[in-house]
Structure 1
Amino acid sequence: MAKRIDTKDVDIYYGKFLAVSGVTLTVAPRSITAFIGPSGCGKSTVLRTLNRMHEVIAGARVEGKVMLDGDDIYANGVDPVDVRRTIGMVFQRPNPFPAMSVYDNVIAGLKLNSKRLRKSETDTIVEKSLRGANLWDEVRDRLDKPGAGLSGGQQQRLCIARAIAVEPQVLLMDEPCSALDPISTLAIEDLIQQLKEKYTIVIVTHNMQQAARVSDKTAFFNLTAVGKPGQLVEMDDTEKIFANPSDRRTEDYISGRFG
């Protein structure tokens, strides 16, 4: 069941440094939200706060509220591992476990969650996840071969299969196509559109054409100067952001005047 995300007055720190300030936004269930903005404005940092990956960094912390269907994921007693199971993440560079087969890569998350499953159950999950990632037909005859032997685009889809195998409700994607060729990029974009039917998706992208193609909503982040905190300038329907943004800074960025 896809879930809604709400953030309220979120401040994100690295040690004493305030990296991003005052982020309030809503991500609707079964929608694709794109985060855009210049390098260093905090897009990926905000993304990592949505499933408590930010706090893995020493000294990093988050103030404010991040709610998943009304429940604060940073509340006392909430297990961050459970949060990351519910809110999956796909990283910029494909990162299959190189020593593992395609099959074992898909079920790696389930094993980490120490689920004991029969072979028939894992077979079903592997096929379902690879079909969900549009990869089954390409790898069905090489499930026992190393995941690292696939092409870059296939590796990224394998990572998406691994993420959806644990049945999350939200998928976060941090520039999932930046290391891929144009054909692989289109395959991932098509897949993201299909995954929207089941998941709430947030994608960070430097590619504004990609944001315009795949997302329902776009959030533009910016910073006033180097060393100053990033901030959310505006968030709206993608069509409006690209055709008629409310803030001049958004228009300047989209039209290529800076960034």
Structure 2
Amino acid sequence: MSKRIDVQDLNVFYGDFKAVEDVTIRIEARSVTAFIGPSGCGKSTFLRTLNRMHEVIPRARVEGKVLLDGDDLYGAGVDPVTVRSQIGMVFQRPNPFPTMSIRDNVLAGVKLNNKRISRSESDNLVERSLRGANLWKEVKDRLEKPGSGLSGGQQQRLCIARAIAVQPEVILMDEPCSALDPISTLAVEDLIDELKDNYTVVIVTHNMQQAARVSEKTAFFNIAGTGEPGRLIEYSETTDIFNNPKEKSTEDYVSGRFG
């Protein structure tokens, strides 16, 4: 069951540097939300705060609240590992574990969470996850072969299968198609469209057409200048952001006048 995310007054710091300032946003359940904006405006940093991935960087911290259906992910006693199993992440470059088979790649996150499952359960989970990532038909006869032997687009869908296997409520994607060719990109975009039936999906993208194609809502982030924090400038229905933005800087960005 996918869940809604409510972010309230979020500030993100790396040491003394404030990277993101005062973000308040509601991300609807079972939908695709796109984050757009120029490089360095805090989109990916903000995305990583949603499942506490940014904490792996020394001296990184946040102020404010991130609520998953009302539960504060930064509350006292909340385990970041649990948060990351609820909110999965797919990175910019496909990163299957190179020495692991396709099957073991899918199960990697489950095993990391110390879940003991039988062979038949794991067989079912591998098939279900690969079907969910639209990859089953392509790999079902080579599950014991290394994941690194797949094409780039297949590797990215394998990483999505790995994220699905943990049965998260939310899937975060940080420019998941930037390293892929157009045909693989289309396959991943089609998959994103299917994933929203079961998951809340948030995607960072530099591709305006992609944001317009895959998302219901779009958030535009911007930065006043080098060394300034990133801010959320405008957040609305994707059609409004691209066709009828309220802010001039949004209009300039989506029309290609800057960034």
TM-superposition CA deviations, 1:12-44 (whole Å, max 9, x none): 000000001000000000000000000000000
Q: How does 1:28-67 map to 2 (within 5 A)?
A: 28-67=28-67
Q: Deviations over 1:123-149 (max 9, x none)?
A: 000000000000000000000000000
CA shift, 1:65, in A, is 0.5
Query: How much does 1:245 deviate?
Result: 0.3
CA distance in 2, matches of 1:84, 1:111: 14
1:111-126 correspondence runs (5 A): 111-126=111-126
For 1:89-117, what per-residue CA distance to the aligned partner results, in whole angstroms no more than 9, with x for missing partners? 00000000000000000000111111111
- In the other structure, the counterpart of 1:24 is 24
Tell me the TM-score normalized by structure 2: 1.00
Determine the structure 2 residue equivalent to 1:133. 133
Structure-2 residue corresponding to 1:226: 226
Once the two structures are TM-superposed, the CA of residue 239 in structure 1 deviates from its matched residue by: 0.3
Within 5 Å, give how 1:93-242 maps onto structure 2: 93-242=93-242
User: Whole-Å Cα distance in 1 between the matches of residues 121 and 175 of structure 2?
Assistant: 32
Offset, 1:166: 0.6
CA distance in 1 between partners of 2:210 and 2:4 (Å): 23
The whole-number CA distance in structure 2 between the counterparts of 1:132 and 1:255 is 35
CA distance in 2 between partners of 1:118 and 1:10 (Å): 42
> What RMSD, in angstroms, separates the aligned Cα atoms of the two structures?
0.4
Measure how far apart 1:176 and its partner are: 0.2
The corresponding residue for 1:245 is: 245
For the residues of structure 2 that align with 1:130 and 1:59, how far apart are their CA atoms?
37
Q: Deviations over 1:170-210 (max 9, x none)?
A: 00000000000000000000000000000000000000000
Separation of aligned partners in 2, 1:225 and 1:118? 54
Cα-to-partner distance string for 1:140-172 (whole Å, 9 max, x where unaligned): 000000000000000000000000001000000
User: Given residue 115 of structure 2, which amino acid in structure 1 is its aligned partner?
Assistant: K
CA distance in 2 between partners of 1:87 and 1:239 (Å): 27
User: 1:257 deviation in Å?
Assistant: 1.2
Q: Deviations over 1:24-75 (max 9, x none)?
A: 0000000000000000000000000000001110000000000000111001
Identity, % of aligned positions: 72
Matches of 1:115 and 1:230, distance apart in 2: 39
Q: List, as ranges, runs of 4+ consecutive aligned residues in structure 1 with deviation greater than 6 Å.
A: none
How far, CA to CA, are the matches of 2:115 and 2:8 in structure 1?
34
SS at match of 1:39: coil
Mapped to 2, the partners of 1:173 and 1:13 lie a distance apart of 21
> Aligned partners of 1:130 and 1:20: how far apart in 2?
36
CA–CA separation in structure 2 for the residues paired with 1:255 and 1:140: 43
State the match for 2:12 in structure 1.
Answer: 12
Return 5+ residue gaps in structure 1 as ranges.
none
Q: CA–CA distance in 2 between the matches of 1:115 and 1:244?
A: 48
Report the secondary structure of 1:11's partner residue: strand
